[in-house]
Amino acid sequence: MFKTENPQVLDDDQEETEIMVANRSKLNLPVMISKSYPSDHNHKHVGPLLLDLAILPLETTTEFVLNQEQRVVYCDAIDSFFKNALNALMLDQPFDFSQVPIVSKIPKSQEREYYLKSDLTASPLFFEKFASRLLFKSITLLPAAVRLFHKNIPNNFKPIFQEVVTKHASKLLIENELNKVQNAEFGERLKVRTVPVTGQIISEYTVEDTKMKLTIELPRDYPLSVPAMNLDKAIVKGDRAKKWLLQLNAYLFHQNGAILEGIEMWKRNVDKGIEGAEDCTICMMTVHQQTNQLPKVKCKQCKNRFHSNCLYKWFESSNQSTCPLCRNNFT
Ligand SMILES: [Zn+2]
Ligand SMILES: [Zn+2]
């Protein structure tokens, strides 16, 4: 009788493993800063200024252009002094961030303009404004680093920090991530839509008549909490689909990149999984209509591939366990 463990399954192709080949010279800035970062307690106030300088190339409006791999390495280099700089900015100040009037009393409609364009030098509250702007930039451009910072700050400061972030940054940040996804093109197979009210990004990947749905939900205090993910149907069953999901999860958790880039990476993996697959020689489809599986069973003799369901039905109807094409025995 036909045994499922006997037939050869698809080889585990090389997955896309975001190879970090970065141009080292682009990293000079954060490395330089980390080397000159003051260890002397009396000069720690220089930290936020250095962080502000290091973040500059991450802003898209500047002439510095880093590709995705370079960004990852660049952000890693900033990590070495990020915590100290943010500590100096937020914890060692004579003012309480949640009490800074300028931060909490900006009309909602002007928040974006305030953080992005306010004329800092003209303000009598220069440092407070500088601090809120640098904090906002850090949250936007280094979400994973800010998440780690929040995890490691003293417990009594955690709710305050969370409130400041949720109140002043999360909404704009979520809106920004959703817009990026909304405006992107993913090609024929992947349709992505967003639900701003719930902060959800719903990606539907279609092969033939089969749909696979991935939902990413951004939490209210994003980026402090990690986005929740749900895959309701995996076209490629088993370990590979799980691996891609874990990879996406790790990306969303550790990388200081956009959600959009995570979805693109996930799509490239699924594309590869589907493209490497051949049609089932019995039903002529790639994805099985009921099981959503790819043709994983391969005949050792004629090398044709079949859905295990299709082959099982063939065995039943023909009353023997032989290949429908070459009659090779499967047992
Ligand atoms: Zn089939
Ligand atoms: Zn055969």
In a domain, 10, yes or no: no
Q: Which domain holds residue 118?
A: 24-180
In a domain, 246, yes or no: no
In a domain, 314, yes or no: no
Distance 9 CA to ligand 2 centre (A): 14
Q: What is the pLDDT of residue 4?
A: 39
Q: What is the pLDDT of residue 173?
A: 87
In a domain, 65, yes or no: yes
Closest listed ligand to the CA of 312 = 1
In a domain, 62, yes or no: yes
Q: What is the pLDDT of residue 240?
A: 73
Q: What is the pLDDT of residue 9?
A: 38
State pLDDT tens for residues 230-271. 988 766 666 777 888 888 888 888 777 788 988 998 888 888
Instruction: Say what the ipTM of the complex is.
Output: 0.87
Distance 83 CA to ligand 1 centre (A): 55
Closest listed ligand to the CA of 289 = 1
Q: Confidence band (pLDDT; 50, 70, 90) for 174?
A: very high
Beta bridge partners of 210: 207
Q: Assess contact for 207 and 286: CB atoms under 8 A.
A: yes
Three-class secondary structure of residue 283 per DSSP: coil
- Give the whole-angstrom CA distance, residue 15 versus residue 266: 11
Closest listed ligand to the CA of 308 = 1
Report which listed range, 6-15, 120-129, 282-291, 292-301, is most confident: 292-301
Q: How many domains does the chain have?
A: 1
Contacting residues for 280 by C-beta, under 8 A, at least 6 apart: 286, 288, 295, 305, 306, 307, 310
Distance 304 CA to ligand 2 centre (A): 6
Distance 300 CA to ligand 2 centre (A): 7
Start-to-end Cα distance in the chain: 6
Q: Which of 136, 138, 146, 137 is nearest to 224 (CA)?
A: 146
In a domain, 326, yes or no: no
Pairing of strands 305-306, 297-298: antiparallel
In a domain, 95, yes or no: yes
Q: What is the pLDDT of residue 172?
A: 84
| Mean pLDDT, residues 97-120 taken together | 52
State pLDDT tens for residues 47-78. 888 898 888 888 766 566 777 777 777 888 88
Torsion on CA atoms 29, 247, 227, 75, rounded to nearest 10:
0
In a domain, 93, yes or no: yes
Distance 295 CA to ligand 1 centre (A): 7
- Give the whole-angstrom CA distance, residue 45 versus residue 61: 27
